Amino acid sequence: MALADGSNGGLASNYTLSGGTHTADITAYQVNLTGSRSYDGTTAINAASLTTSTLVGGETLTLSGVGTVADKNVGTGKTVALGSLALSDGSNGGLASNYTLIGGDFSADISPANLVLTTGDIIKTYDGTTSASGTPIIKAGSGSQLFGADSLSGGVYTFIDKNASGGGTVTVSGISVSDGNGGNNYAISYSDNTTSTILPYVIHLTGSRLFDGSNLVNADVFNLGTLVGNETLSLSGAGQMSDSSAGVDKPVDLGTLALRDGGNGGLASNYTLAGGNPVVTILQSPAVDTPTDIVDAGTAVPNSGGNGSAGDGSNGGGKAGGLALSALRGTDSNRTVQFNIADSGINGGGSTTGLTAGGTAPTQIGNTVHLLASQTLVAGGQVQIVANVEVNNYSSGFSFALPAGVLPTTAGDSTVSAKMGNGEPLPAWLSFNSQSLSFSTDSVGAAQLPLQVVITHTSASGQQKSIMLTIEKQDQAI
């Protein structure tokens, strides 16, 4: 170290360093920090995510501790507070004491975290669509995760094939992430689920037929019920009951019953009979069928002689009378006849050529009701009851009540219900009152007849008795 001439007459020769005291201050080198990390749901910036600015020569230092940013969200150039960040000695002579973080600039970038989303396995029943109701989850093995209290919701899930199958593929999109930043803290991607299932639609077979002594139930007895959309199927084969006796909702083993492809896209593979609990109601027709025959006024009624009686002589329809008929309908036997009595009343008198139901004009008759009784209803299967219904040509409606004794009376917790012979509900145009045991309609078209209705009485103990009611045009046979 040496002195040199200066200004204002300063000559180095007039001064000396020898014998003097010499001091100097060396200030610490200021270190800046920069860094980056992906979103982790916290405000912490670990030392490992930061890099020191260039140091002196080849010296190195070590940084430890944790700094913080103002919020957890994704962003660039976010200011870092030092927190517990500190320098320590490094290599190549790098001493922490020669450096300082005080006064430095500290910033970090937080980038979105990768998030791979899919859905849990979806199991649904065939409904003719590819729509699915999924549950958003993180793809297993993707190495991605949600942080903190962040959560998933929603999503759009779609099968690539609408048909029933196992191992179905479901595409995934539109899942929402709740992270306090509109989902922007994550870089979202989607992965298909390839282990979902569309189960076949279970068909519950129902039906009814009259007792025929066989425990087989042919396919044409059954109703398939409501299928998906307007699809149709056909049924072949025969099921089997454990016995052939009459009864309500008797279980049927499937036997050879099988579904076949139908119309409007109906594929048998999308449906199944397994698990459907098929049932059939077997009704026993009585040994003697006793239909009502309604006789127009002025019509001769064949008889085997004797006086006929209409019960009473007042005007009105449906007057019961006893008469030994020779050939009114069915097997010759004594029958109960329903007379429609007009002003002239009933003219009888023992003529062997016929009995005349008197009146000034014919009564218009549209429909006849036939009652077929269950074996369990009356001992021996005999039913000595008739019921009639008149349909006026102008109103095209009718109403009638079941005669007393056809079913047990409703009392306590007992119930009476009516359904179609194939097990489906009654048509909208036909009403049944379970208290009065009566049917009524304001309008019925010719195409809607004949119609079979099963009426079932269920006691408080669960015992059931039933009859089948057939409503048909007068000129139709049972």
Give pLDDT, residue 136: 98
Distance CA 329, CA 99 (A): 122
**Band of the pLDDT at 398, cuts 50, 70, 90?**
low
The residues, any chain, with a CB within 8 Å of residue 209's CB and separated by 6 or more, are 217, 221, 280, 282, 283
**Band of the pLDDT at 297, cuts 50, 70, 90?**
very low
Q: What's the pLDDT tens digit per position in 222-277? A: 999 999 999 999 999 999 999 988 888 899 999 999 999 999 999 999 999 999 99
Q: Which two tokens stand for residue 338?
A: 């329903």
Same domain membership, residue 370 and residue 358: no
Domain boundary among 323, 348, 363: 363
Same domain membership, residue 468 and residue 407: yes
Distance CA 45, CA 80 (A): 8
Tell me the residue range of the domain where 435 lies. 366-478
Same domain membership, residue 262 and residue 246: yes
Give mean pLDDT, residues 109-131: 97
The answer as to whether 290 is a domain residue is: no
Domain boundary among 199, 220, 250: 199
Over pLDDT 70: what percentage of the chain?
Answer: 70
Same domain membership, residue 476 and residue 426: yes
The answer as to whether 444 is a domain residue is: yes
Same domain membership, residue 418 and residue 372: yes
Same domain membership, residue 100 and residue 147: no
Give mean pLDDT, residues 76-95: 96
The answer as to whether 304 is a domain residue is: yes
Q: Which two tokens stand for residue 197?
A: 């299932």
Q: Are 28 and 97 in contact (CB under 8 A)?
A: yes
Same domain membership, residue 370 and residue 357: no
Give pLDDT, residue 457: 80
Question: Could you please report the per-residue DSSP string of 101-134?
Answer: -TT--EEEEEEPEEEEEEE---EEE--SS-EE--
The answer as to whether 291 is a domain residue is: no
Number of domains in the chain: 5
The answer as to whether 102 is a domain residue is: yes
Same domain membership, residue 238 and residue 210: yes
Q: Which residue has the higher pLDDT, 250 or 300?
A: 250
Same domain membership, residue 144 and residue 100: no
Q: Is the pTM of this model over 0.85?
A: no
**Band of the pLDDT at 30, cuts 50, 70, 90?**
very high
